[in-house]
Structure 1
Amino acid sequence: MYLLLSIAASTLIFVIFKTIGKRNVNTLQTIVVNYFTAFILGIISYDSKIVVSEIISSKWFFGAIGLGVLFISIFNVMALTAQRNGMSVASVASKMSVVIPIIFGLFVYNESLGWQKGLGIVLALVAVYLASVKAKSETFSFKGLWLPIILFLGSGTIDTSIKYIETTYLADNGIPVFSATIFLIAGLIGVGILSAKAIQKTLVFDAKSIIAGIILGVVNYYSIYTLLKALNADHFESSTIFTVNNVAIVMLSTLIGLVLFKEKLSTKNWIGIGVAVVSIVLVTLA
């Protein structure tokens, strides 16, 4: 159930970004409001007394700071990659990064890798690529190669770090405050960026970003919360969770783009969706 909710919430994030893009809402301001909204939700969801000194002294605190920096940095890298290299390249780079936490789980946690699961993971990577390729104009270019590489490594590092901290340092009831800390750090960095723009007199306040940010923040918080809860389940390995999560998000977002935003799907896209279904079945049953 948590995995399904994580897939739904993560897919909804893409829908929100697509919608605010069409309505010309300021993306950066929306992202900053989103982080503070998610922070407040994390604090509200925490069922124990919040002691700032205990949070700062906790073993996961510096990991949360690092993740907060990565969260807002990779969001910006993703935007730059989409603008300079195309949406398909950005999608492929971010979602194929699933291979990083999968390999980490196999070697560090000694998770199983039979032929069925191995085949499912390979098919998952193929499915992500095929489902992400949109337009012929968005072909891969070696110019600006560093952006997709950073996006690939950054996205994979985020997933891997979340799993490692959740497994090694996080208490059963610590997910809300851990998530809240990550979002607060990301939000404070965002405020710093907006402040710099204000000093340079390039900041134009967009009131619509407040509402958009609140909606995005609620969805964003629960996408992380439910993913952490799914990773905490005893009957699923992290390599299975990450594979099913990422492939299902690509598959579902592609179908929603077709239905809601009238995006056209190529033959490769349809094949990718079919391969995605097969990969999810293989990995889950394994």
Structure 2
Amino acid sequence: MIFLLLSILFSTGLFVIFKYFGIYKIDVLKAIFVNYIVAFSMGFFFAERQIPISEIYLQPWFSGALFLGALFVSIFFVMAMTAQENGVSVTSIAGKMSVVVPVVFGIILYNESITFLKIVGIIMALIAVYLSSVKEEKSEKNGTLLLPILLFIGSGTIDTLLKYIQENYVADEDVSIFSGSLFGIAGVFAFFILVIKTIKKRASFGYKNIIAGIILGVPNYYSIIFLIKALQNKNFESSTLFTINNVAIVVVSTLVGLFFFKEKFSIKNKVGVVMAILGIVLVTIA
């Protein structure tokens, strides 16, 4: 349970950091690139079992890490495009509602339990995610549905693959080096994108983007580490864990936005938070 709580805490920290990125006009792509370097370095530094970088490709989880790394960067850009075309609320809802994907696969692939309480709790949690995330803003855009659908599928696929690879290929002592490799691969893809962008429009990297990337990299690394360690707990079914993790992040992030950033908190948001808590309780009991 402690690893799940830490995963929720560090994931919520990412929300706070990204919020400050907007305040301080941080170049997100550059910060993301530095963040991947930091997380990659931490993964190898804290690894319980040392593996030469030249032999990483020989590990049984490498192909999965390669695909996940590319997916990390791709979904980041889909998220950015969705926010621009459809608005922040739609982006938030599509990303967080994706919890249904690993939940369904957990039940299908691992024969996880299906009880009345669990079904009610998951449905309640999904409704809560929508109510907690929706913002009543007149300026919200109405773009194509393709981008939110891609974000929904992509985000859910990341969680599902993370569970599958952890379950079948990652040894307990390789969690850190697997996570570091994952971030390193994502960093390589981000680097190429950054080079292409720089060729089109030259601009200095900027010290504040480097500092922002370092600040982002530490909690980003631990959010993945603690999530994987939580998934290793046999007392938690993945469908239960992902529901609790994602919905709790929504609740805590919403409360942080309310109390620290003075964001508007509608009746829908309040109902969503209450339903989220009830949903988490039901899923946990089930």
- Structure 1 and Structure 2 fold alike (TM over 0.5): yes
Q: What secondary structure does 1:173 align onto? A: helix
Per-residue displacement from partner, 1:196-234 (whole Å, max 9, x unpaired)? 122223334221011110010000000000000000001
Identity of aligned residues (%): 54
Mapping for residues 135-284 of structure 1, pairs under 5 Å: 135-137=136-138, 141=142, 143-284=143-284
Give the CA deviation at 1:140. 7.0
Q: Is the 8 A contact 1:104 1:160 kept in 2?
A: yes
Distance across 2 between alignment mates of 1:181 and 1:117: 35
What one-letter code is carried by the residue in structure 1 that aligns with 2:22?
G
Give the CA deviation at 1:137. 2.3
Question: What TM-score, normalized to structure 2?
Answer: 0.97
Q: What secondary structure does 1:48 align onto? A: coil
Per-residue displacement from partner, 1:82-116 (whole Å, max 9, x unpaired)? 12211110011001000000000001100001000
Q: What secondary structure does 1:77 align onto? A: helix
What one-letter code is carried by the residue in structure 2 that aligns with 1:58?
Q
- Two-structure CA RMSD over aligned residues (Å): 1.2
Distance across 2 between alignment mates of 1:120 and 1:140: 31
What one-letter code is carried by the residue in structure 2 that aligns with 1:213?
G
What one-letter code is carried by the residue in structure 2 that aligns with 1:276?
A
Distance across 2 between alignment mates of 1:137 and 1:233: 44
Mapping for residues 31-70 of structure 1, pairs under 5 Å: 31-70=32-71
Distance across 2 between alignment mates of 1:204 and 1:145: 36
Which segments of structure 1 move beyond 3 Å, counting only runs of 4 or more?
Answer: 201-204
CA gap 1:226/1:30 in 2 versus in 1, 3 angstroms: same
Q: What secondary structure does 2:113 align onto? A: coil
Question: What TM-score, normalized to structure 1?
Answer: 0.97
Q: Is the 8 A contact 2:44 2:50 kept in 1?
A: no
Give the corresponding residue for 2:12.
11
Distance across 2 between alignment mates of 1:140 and 1:156: 24
Q: Is the 8 A contact 1:85 1:138 kept in 2?
A: no
Give the corresponding residue for 1:104.
105
Distance across 2 between alignment mates of 1:23 and 1:199: 25
Mapping for residues 108-127 of structure 1, pairs under 5 Å: 108-127=109-128
Q: Is the 8 A contact 1:94 1:155 kept in 2?
A: yes
Give the CA deviation at 1:240. 0.6
Per-residue displacement from partner, 1:45-81 (whole Å, max 9, x unpaired)? 1022213354211221011000000111111111111
Give the CA deviation at 1:138. 5.8
Per-residue displacement from partner, 1:98-143 (whole Å, max 9, x unpaired)? 00000000011000010001100000100000000012326573x3
Give the CA deviation at 1:277. 0.4
Q: What secondary structure does 2:31 align onto? A: helix
- Tell me which moved more, 201-210 or 57-66: 201-210
Mapping for residues 53-92 of structure 1, pairs under 5 Å: 53-92=54-93
Distance across 1 between alignment mates of 2:92 and 2:250: 8
What one-letter code is carried by the residue in structure 2 that aligns with 1:211?
I
What one-letter code is carried by the residue in structure 2 that aligns with 1:243?
T
CA gap 1:44/1:80 in 2 versus in 1, 3 angstroms: same
Q: Is the 8 A contact 1:13 1:220 kept in 2?
A: yes
